[in-house]
Structure 1
């Protein structure tokens, strides 16, 4: 055996494990780009869909699950954030499918079943042929124990799909979580193969310079990435977004500028009454529907009292109450909703609203991005106005957000660049292989290892 053959044997090919289906067999209620993504994901068997908000991830995952059920005869479980489950049931009905809303294994019926992430412990994962993680990026919000429980629970599920918006800037751990859930590669393997540890900053990993192209090509082999249909060569059509108008409101405040996270939080507490008063005056003089985001419980309490008709959703509320409030707001039955982006900022369709205010900013760009996208998403017909109300002592908060936004755009552009050709290929395998190494010296093999003697 020569050396080249030996190296090739070390490569572990994770071949596609799904089904080939005709586009004609995919539900006509899907757009053309959605059909091709579903077709690709079915062929993969285990895949991730990183798609911009409003591109129809719910419909794609329902169609994928239905086809897995039809082709295997097994049941499929969809896990979703609170209130998103009921929303998905309606999306399924629009495609002509019944998606069963479940609270435990006893409620499961043949076909598609959906529950909230928090209810997973009431189910038997081994009994399902397929699993779908809706808004799968929220795995980061769970403790390591729950993240591991989800990955381990479905390690033997033959068909797996993860759906979420495009990842936050430089959040390679999120990509690692997805690869591990899909069984492509563990997070630690990914880090050792493509990254180097950034000195003493224990949580920071940096892509190896020579491995960047290989890394994104690897991601594109199991995940399809797009922010809009034209990223994959389709017409954007109705998926063009209306204008997004960001209004920065800086409230006067006394004290030195904040530099650290602790100082910023203290500055927010000191300016709470002034920021709430400004927001309440802005909203109460209109009859519009408003979505109001806060970061502190005290902000939430004060805003609910100061804004006419405001309904508060907070973490301590019972799940049934939170779910009803979010669905009522989405239906237009509630005109002012006050909450944190960590509670209501994932998965919900709030196109009924085109005006929102941030009266307290999280330091997580992803949460801010997701919160804005509840309203500014495909299907929104009006310009969206976002008011960011901060105290002058909080520092350059908006500038920091803009910097992270540019990082996000750069990352998405890079991901899309490697993903654009994915649907034009019949299939791609995910390889677990060594990053290419350009040797500068010839390898000297000892005499006793050679299968043939050295020519004299």
Structure 2
């Protein structure tokens, strides 16, 4: 009876979907990684095809560079990191700071322009990937930074990546903004990493919706199993303590919000949408109207910001250039 029970347990365990390991054990961390980043990187290397879903500030850039260094040392072949163009500078800076720039980091726009590839880290932007200018066969591994570009199957970038980059031996994705309830995005990551067949995942975990092919709903009895499977190839971390490490340096002081009203008084005649003169501006505005109001009042708010900063000349300031919460009042605006 005991033998039969063991056989049955083994039978059930074989039914569990677990991502296979395609990587290798590292000999030791190369860069100056933070404590929480070291086990994540080692886990990714052992898996060979893994996802890092880490919140902002948890050093995803450094972890990807460590993965590149390790794969290059293992295979003696260059490594590619794809990213938005504006992030290239950050990777170059971190390569110098955390790795003392032991390997060169070179930005490329077309793999055909390079005859002999040195064993180093190459970076490129997604526009080059979308255009098909990058041949993945030249690299031992690839990491996609800001990998949320894979969330939509209808884009040229996603289709090209899933078609050609799946041939690379070591594959990694990293983003701070995965959408947990967007199962298409999760499956796209899994498809790229090669941890499961898309058709298998769809039939195993999701109900069919005859009215909408893209509407995926988990079976109620499969929800726990689905996320357990995801955890075998993706790490979700919001702060170091999620993995048992100290949050020192990540616990920010309480944020105090001061709402400043800026008056927008005018002697001009106020006209409504119908071209009729009115006493007060219409506060029921469309998205286009709100955008126009923001443009019309930008000078007022910039001047007010400069006035506030000038009152404390010896303080350090961080000024965000995107529009903050915007609320229309009768004759004033909040910056």
Into which bin does the TM-score normalised by the smaller protein fall? 0.7 to 0.9
- Give 1:171 shift: 1.6
User: Does the aligned pair in 1 maintain the 2:48–2:171 contact within 8 Å?
Assistant: yes
User: Does the aligned pair in 2 maintain the 1:357–1:389 contact within 8 Å?
Assistant: no
Counterpart for residue 77 of structure 2: 74
Counterpart for residue 318 of structure 2: 353
- Spell out, residue by residue over 1:3-44, the C-alpha distance to the aligned partner (whole angstroms, 9 max, x if none): 96888777776531211124xx21351111111111111111
1:389 and 2:318 correspond: no
User: Taking structure 1 as reference, are residues 247 and 238 closer, same or farther at Cα in structure 2, changes over 3 Å only?
Assistant: same
User: Does the aligned pair in 1 maintain the 2:53–2:175 contact within 8 Å?
Assistant: yes
Counterpart for residue 53 of structure 1: 56
User: Taking structure 1 as reference, are residues 352 and 45 closer, same or farther at Cα in structure 2, changes over 3 Å only?
Assistant: farther
User: Taking structure 1 as reference, are residues 148 and 113 closer, same or farther at Cα in structure 2, changes over 3 Å only?
Assistant: same
- Give 1:285 shift: 2.1
* 1:291-440 matched pairs, under 5 angstroms: 353-358=318-323, 387-391=324-328
2:95 to 86, 92, 97: 92
User: Taking structure 1 as reference, are residues 248 and 96 closer, same or farther at Cα in structure 2, changes over 3 Å only?
Assistant: same
Decide which structure has the larger Cα Rg and report it: 2
Q: TM-score, normalised by structure 1?
A: 0.57
Structure 2, unmatched stretches of 5+, are 265-279, 310-315, 330-335
- Of structures 1 and 2, the one with the larger relative CO (CA 8 A, separation 6+) is 1
1:140 to 151, 162, 187: 151
User: Does the aligned pair in 1 maintain the 2:151–2:186 contact within 8 Å?
Assistant: no
User: Taking structure 1 as reference, are residues 12 and 388 closer, same or farther at Cα in structure 2, changes over 3 Å only?
Assistant: closer
Counterpart for residue 333 of structure 2: none
Structure 1, unmatched stretches of 5+, are 257-265, 291-350, 359-386, 393-456
Q: TM-score, normalised by structure 2?
A: 0.76
Counterpart for residue 293 of structure 2: 274
| Matched residue SS, 1:388 | coil
- Give 1:390 shift: 4.6
* 1:247-258 matched pairs, under 5 angstroms: 254=282
* 1:151-162 matched pairs, under 5 angstroms: 151-162=162-173
| Matched residue SS, 2:286 | helix
Counterpart for residue 83 of structure 1: 86
- Give 1:86 shift: 2.6
User: Does the aligned pair in 2 maintain the 1:133–1:161 contact within 8 Å?
Assistant: yes
- Spell out, residue by residue over 1:170-196, the C-alpha distance to the aligned partner (whole angstroms, 9 max, x if none): 122211111011001244432322122
- Spell out, residue by residue over 1:271-290, the C-alpha distance to the aligned partner (whole angstroms, 9 max, x if none): 44433344432222233899
Give the paired residue count. Answer: 292
Counterpart for residue 421 of structure 1: none
1:44 to 43, 47, 56: 47
User: Taking structure 1 as reference, are residues 243 and 27 closer, same or farther at Cα in structure 2, changes over 3 Å only?
Assistant: farther
| Matched residue SS, 1:237 | coil
Cα separation, 1, equivalents of 2:17 and 2:322 = 50
Counterpart for residue 101 of structure 1: 107
User: Taking structure 1 as reference, are residues 169 and 6 closer, same or farther at Cα in structure 2, changes over 3 Å only?
Assistant: closer
* 1:184-333 matched pairs, under 5 angstroms: 184-197=195-208, 200-244=211-255, 254=282, 267-287=286-306
| Matched residue SS, 2:106 | strand
| Matched residue SS, 1:191 | helix
User: Taking structure 1 as reference, are residues 248 and 267 closer, same or farther at Cα in structure 2, changes over 3 Å only?
Assistant: farther
- Give 1:199 shift: 6.4
- Give 1:209 shift: 1.1
Cα separation, 1, equivalents of 2:16 and 2:145 = 32
- Give 1:207 shift: 1.8
